[in-house]
Chain A
């Protein structure tokens, strides 16, 4: 009763008149659930990383092994972002502008990396591109394996961001450009690409955030060789197992900061774009 009463007092005219609209109970439950599950645990990670002071934090993230893991993680993520931006746009293009037998099947294959458990994704790649490769390609236990695994899990982001934009795109300006003598490449670069750019950037932000944190897909295929194929998430896992929680927390904070930056940057770009369109 008291929750309902306080909800009524804070009611804003015209807002929140739907179901639950008049009570603050729902808001309280949501806040509680998020706090216990997400907010408090993540705060604990940040807190633990700074417990030993700035010097300890710095030492933890600049130890040679941590530094090598972070360097590999960010390097691989950037390569994956670049490849995905091109390949994702290409696939979206083929799915929207081309038409061929089996297109519906190909379209649903795009979502497979989201549906498939990451450990299974890693294992399937290892089966085909590992030591016993039936096609004679062995990239396992090398930095290339990291890139391949990340490309697999992050495939849908750019495709699914670009596809709807491409479908909505007005063809008139392309036809106008063609009638004025522009070649296909010029039309793509000058007319189509600018409208796709926000979607590509948005998908790339998600790709980056996902790539720097990926664990399941890379853990088997990289072989976890320190200084060579060990990515940050695998390093963190090793530190947790080895009992060095502050070091695990410090590297975690670096990853968290960068994925938040990527997502905030993405939000900012999308906001700017929608305002631009209005």
Chain B
């Protein structure tokens, strides 16, 4: 019994000092000046435009990675072809790549002196130091989550129902919408929630490709750093709290869907 209490105290103490207290303290510092200060910081034009850019980048990234993720999971689970393991490893790769390297990699290909950048620039398409670059970086960083959640579910449900449906004359699309999609629903939702969290919070990759034009190519995470470096702690804390609230919402959704899945 004594060991049990000691272990419990150690574990909770560790979590308390490492996670709970720091996160609680930023809420405390933000709201200690009152709601008014917080509200004027988050409604400042630069903060608002950063917030919208974050929503746009995350929205596009989540949509793109959801469609890709489902397709990729189907290819990985249902198809048999040489190099399948390599393809699987490739989809996991973004998890092992530092955000800064993601940014560098995109600059080298899509930047003005990059492999495709010159060709694109001639056609008037600017990617790096512009919103498309931010979107690409966000997509790269949040790419693996849907695939990783959907693939095991797809493997689990098997192909019997899909086969039955196509034997009975359903078109591939009908089979997908009526059989496959409902059966992967939970895994897909969970993957989308994880993708959203990563996309909203991406910092390093975006920092490299954004060019930091305040009010234009600054996302909310970049805005936090920008305010901090400008010694505007109130602004930095306020934007952090907005991001933290989004994260808590995500966490709630993660728990909710996890429980639903188990039920």
Bound form: Cα–Cα A149–B32 in Å = 25
CB contact under 8 A between A123 and B228, given known A18-B78, A19-B162, A98-B4: yes
Chain A min CB distance to B176 (Å): 4
Main DSSP-derived SS at the B contact region: helix
Bound form: Cα–Cα A19–B170 in Å = 10
Bound form: Cα–Cα A19–B162 in Å = 7
B18 with A263: CB separation less than 8 A = no
Q: Is B130 an interface residue (CB 8 A)?
A: no
Q: Is A248 an interface residue (CB 8 A)?
A: yes
B12 with A118: CB separation less than 8 A = no
CB contact under 8 A between A249 and B80, given known A116-B244, A125-B22, A215-B98: no
A interface residues (Cβ-Cβ under 8 A, vs B): 10, 12, 15-22, 26-27, 29-31, 33-34, 37-42, 44-45, 47-48, 87, 90-91, 93-95, 98, 100, 106, 108-121, 123-125, 127-129, 134-135, 148, 151-152, 155, 184, 206, 209-210, 212-216, 219-220, 232-234, 236-237, 240, 245, 248-249, 252, 255-256, 259-260, 262-263
30 contacts between A and B (CB under 8 A): A16-B78, A17-B78, A18-B162, A19-B173, A21-B79, A21-B162, A29-B68, A33-B72, A37-B139, A38-B143, A39-B90, A90-B11, A100-B8, A108-B255, A111-B255, A116-B23, A116-B243, A118-B203, A124-B240, A127-B25, A128-B22, A152-B22, A215-B203, A216-B221, A233-B100, A236-B101, A249-B104, A252-B101, A255-B101, A260-B96
* Interface pairs A-B: 4 shortest CB-CB: A213-B98, A117-B201, A41-B105, A215-B204
Sample of 4 further A-B pairs with CB below 8 A, known A106-B15, A245-B108: A108-B254, A115-B201, A213-B100, A249-B104
